[in-house]
Structure 1
Amino acid sequence: MSAEVIYGKQLAEELREEMKEEVKGLKENGIYPKLVVVIIGEDPASMSYVRGKQRASEKVGLDSELIELPETTSEQELLELIDRLNQDQTVHGILVQLPLPDQIADQKVIEAIDPSKDVDGFHPSNVGKMMTGQETFYPCTPYGILVMLKRAEISLEGKHVVIIGRSNLVGKPVGQLLLNENATVTHCHSRTKNLQEHTRKADILIVAAGKPGLISAEDISEGVV
């Protein structure tokens, strides 16, 4: 039995075309959606990620502004900037690139962003809405996984989903989103005993542990997603 590959790039292009039409419709009604991305320091991985977001925004017609701040920026300076962006009616989305320098508390910054502009879906208010199955901003990678599964017409209801990883950014939220879709979810992590026993029982396996080569062919059963 040969494997079927879900191509993320192809799906992303289809979604961008749909978003382009949505943005066009907003502009026709006098709404010009704007995303502001804030990055502190010059971490190469973060810079690459942020520039990718800017390119994606431009492709769908969003107004995108990048604010680059030095590594020495204080927590108070960043909080004051976020407050100004919260008050700015022309800004619809605020994204602060993580991780932040040691002098700035990530959680304090996340909680400072207006939940209605929190496009990363990290604010406790949006996390709470996700937990209770309400419409809100969802963390992008978990939501991307959900969209990929749905677009590939993979049934989720009643399926056993095994997730390796329990981070607040991917592992936990993707489990909740799939639970909201009536899947049965098992979370595994670095302390899980007999990992293979769990992975071999999965209908759908999601690996978000940041460790290459963690899963091999013998760790999964035939027909798993």
Structure 2
Amino acid sequence: MLIADSITVGYGSPVLQDVTLTISPGEIVGLGGESGSGKTTLAATLAGLRTPDAGRVTVDGVPPRRARGTTAMVFQSPRAATNPHLTVAQIIAEPARIHRRPIDIPALATSVGLTPDLLDRRPHTLSEGQLQRACLARALAQNPRYLLLDEPTAMLDAATTAAVIRLVVEHATTLGVLLISHDPALLEVACTRVHTLHKGTLSPQLPQAGLSEPI
């Protein structure tokens, strides 16, 4: 289980205040809230990219630094999150190269809906949706137990959003997923439960029906 236990995080002044959140493998937890409420900071802290000022984060019972590769994060802007000089295949393979583990790049690309002809291309030749799929494949290449998605569909059209979320739902049978979005309807359809951040404080909502409608 990925746990934030009463964490406070700030940049001079608190951004998150006494926030507790749990994510278990096999569930999609939604997170909404206005811009500046601390959603990205919470995801980055869960990923081990930020250290809380108070409280603690544990990944399957250990600190994030001892669980490297267990969590993977997909950011809002795929273009800002990828090296424009790398091919799609190289982007997907980055975690495998860092962790020195073999992966089947064509199979992984196919699993997120990328065709083999895209693997030798560079980011500027891909659409936002195609590049976000590559970022999702790169995250999955870590073989994580927890996937943190920070507004992954914010720059996508409705059809591409549906396709990306469908892929996330398929992988959530074995992964624990945090899905951050400004779209309440998307969170309601895709998530098993939804929380809202308001001025750094987490408020739970009622459990969602969870995929009650086709995506």
Question: Under TM normalisation by the shorter chain, which class is it?
Answer: 0.3 to 0.5
Greater RCO, CA 8 A, separation 6+: 2
Structure having the larger proportion of residues in strand? 2
Q: Please, what TM-score do these two structures have when normalized by structure 2? A: 0.33
- Computing the radius of gyration from Cα coordinates, the structure with the larger value is 1
